[in-house]
Amino acid sequence: MANEVHIQTPYITLGQLLKEKSIISTGGQAKWYLRENTVLVNQEPDDRRGRKLYLGDVVAVPSGERFVINGMGAEAD
């Protein structure tokens, strides 16, 4: 099952998603992480940290986690 990522903006970048979900600890690590790991966006490999993710996009990371972009507003922690 995929985790929902709630955004209030039209999109979030792949690098921002990785940082927000604590897959990387700083935004500067995104370039390295995406070069060394296969991340799927909508079942297609993507290594662009600036890739814009819109509502309904699905991101899968090597750990097996999946994230779905949802526009419901601020995420409750």
The 10s digit of each residue's pLDDT in 35-51 is 999 999 999 999 999 99
Q: Give pTM, 2 decimals.
A: 0.88
Q: Which residues of 30-68 are buried (b: 16+ CB within 10 A; e: fewer)?
A: beebbeeeebebeeeeebebebebeeebebbbeeeeebe
Measured in degrees and rounded to the nearest 5, phi and psi for residue 53 equal -105, 125
Measured in degrees and rounded to the nearest 5, phi and psi for residue 67 equal -130, 135
pLDDT under 50 in the chain at which residues? 75-77
42: alpha, beta or left, given left = phi > 0 and alpha = psi -120 to 50? Answer: left
